[in-house]
A and B are shown apart, each in its own frame.
Chain A
Amino acid sequence: MKRFADLIDALVFMPSRNGKIRLLGDYFAHVPDPERGWALAALTETLVFREAKPAAVRQLVLNRVDPELFGWSYDYVGDLGETVALIWPERPALANSLPPTLTEVVETLRAAKRSAVMELVEGWMDSLDASSRFALLKLITGSLRVGVSARLAKTALAAWGRVDVNAIEECWHGLTPPYEPLFAWLEGRAEAPSSAQGAGFRPLMLANPLEEEDMAGLNPADYRAEWKWDGIRVQLVARGGERRLYSRTGDDVSPAFPDVTDHMAFEAVLDGELLVVRDGAVAPFNDLQQRLNRKTVTARMLQEYPAFVRLYDILVEGGEDLRGLGFTERRERLERWYAEVRPRRMDLSPLISFAGWDELKALRAGAREAAIEGLMLKRRDSAYVAGRPKGPWFKWKRGALTLDTVLMYAQRGHGKRSSFYSDFTFGVWRDGAAGEELVPVGKAYFGFTDAELVELDRWVRNHTVRRYGPVREVAPGLVLEVAFDSVHRSTRHKSGLAMRFPRVHRIRWDKPAPEADRLPTLERMVVG
Chain B
Amino acid sequence: MRVCPEGLFVEPGGFFIDPVRAVERAVVTHGHSDHARPGHRHVLATEGTLAIMRQRLGEGAGQAQQALGYGEAIRIGDTTVRLAPAGHVLGSAQVVVEHGGSRVVVSGDYKRAFDRTCTPFEPVPCDVFVTEATFGLPVFRHPPDLGEVEKLLHSMAVFPERSHVVGVYALGKCQRLITLLRAAGYDRPIYLHGALTPICDLYRGFGVELGELRPATVAAKEELKGALVLAPPGATADRWARRLSDPVVAMASGWMRVRQRARQRGVELPLVISDHADWDELCRTLDDVGAPEVWVTHGREEALVHHARSRGIRARALALVGFEEEGA
Cβ contact within 8 Å between B303 and A418: no
Per the 8 Å Cβ criterion, residues 363-387 of A in contact with B are none
* Residue of chain B at shortest CB distance from A89: B138
A26-B158, A77-B258, A130-B143 known; A69+B268 contact, CB < 8 A: no
Which of A66, A82, A86 contacts B141, CB < 8 Å? A86
Chain A contact residues: over half helix, strand or loop, or mixed?
helix
B241 at the interface (CB under 8 A from A): yes
CA distance A12 to B158 in the complex (A): 16
Cβ contact within 8 Å between A130 and B241: no
User: Which one of A336-344, A408-416, A496-504 is at the B interface?
Assistant: A408-416
Q: Which of B262, B266, B302 has the most CB of A within 10 A?
A: B266
A436 at the interface (CB under 8 A from B): no
B310 at the interface (CB under 8 A from A): yes
Cβ contact within 8 Å between B138 and A419: no
B124 at the interface (CB under 8 A from A): no
* Residue of chain A at shortest CB distance from B162: A19
How does the 8 Å CB contact mask read for B235-256 relative to A, with 1 for contact and 0 for none? Answer: 0011111100010010000000
Cβ contact within 8 Å between B137 and A13: no
B215 to chain A, nearest CB (A): 19
How does the 8 Å CB contact mask read for A225-255 relative to B, with 1 for contact and 0 for none? Answer: 0000000000000000000000000000000
Cβ contact within 8 Å between A414 and B139: no
Cβ contact within 8 Å between B139 and A73: yes
How does the 8 Å CB contact mask read for B139-166 relative to A, with 1 for contact and 0 for none? Answer: 1110100000001001100110000000
CA distance A19 to B161 in the complex (A): 12
How does the 8 Å CB contact mask read for A10-54 relative to B, with 1 for contact and 0 for none? Answer: 101111000100110010000000000000000000000000000
Cβ contact within 8 Å between B260 and A77: yes
B144 to chain A, nearest CB (A): 9
Residues from chain A with Cβ under 8 Å of B238 in the complex: 419
* Residue of chain A at shortest CB distance from B150: A6
- Size of interface on B: residues with Cβ below 8 Å to A: 36
Cβ contact within 8 Å between B306 and A73: no
- Size of interface on A: residues with Cβ below 8 Å to B: 36
* Residue of chain A at shortest CB distance from B267: A13
Residues from chain B with Cβ under 8 Å of A76 in the complex: 137, 139, 258, 300
Cβ contact within 8 Å between B237 and A418: yes
Cβ contact within 8 Å between B139 and A419: no
Cβ contact within 8 Å between B158 and A130: no
How does the 8 Å CB contact mask read for A48-85 relative to B, with 1 for contact and 0 for none? Answer: 00000000000000000110111011001111001100
Cβ contact within 8 Å between B307 and A69: yes
B2 at the interface (CB under 8 A from A): no
A43 to chain B, nearest CB (A): 17
Cβ contact within 8 Å between A73 and B137: yes
CA distance A89 to B159 in the complex (A): 35
A349 to chain B, nearest CB (A): 42
Cβ contact within 8 Å between A6 and B151: yes
Cβ contact within 8 Å between A72 and B302: yes
Which of B139, B143, B158, B249 contacts A22, CB < 8 Å? B158
Cβ contact within 8 Å between A412 and B137: no
CA distance A106 to B306 in the complex (A): 39
Cβ contact within 8 Å between B237 and A68: no
Which of B143, B237, B310 contacts A129, CB < 8 Å? B143
B304 to chain A, nearest CB (A): 10
* Residue of chain A at shortest CB distance from B155: A10
Residues from chain A with Cβ under 8 Å of B302 in the complex: 72
A117 at the interface (CB under 8 A from B): no
How does the 8 Å CB contact mask read for B11-24 relative to A, with 1 for contact and 0 for none? Answer: 00000000000000
Which of B139, B240, B246, B270 contacts A83, CB < 8 Å? B139
The 4 closest A-B CB pairs, nearest first, are A86-B139, A73-B139, A26-B158, A87-B138
Residues of A participating in the B interface, judged by any CB pair closer than 8 Å: 6, 10, 12-15, 19, 22-23, 26, 65-66, 68-70, 72-73, 76-79, 82-83, 86-87, 89, 129-131, 412, 414-416, 418-419, 470
7 contacts between A and B (CB under 8 A): A13-B262, A22-B159, A68-B303, A69-B303, A78-B260, A130-B141, A418-B266
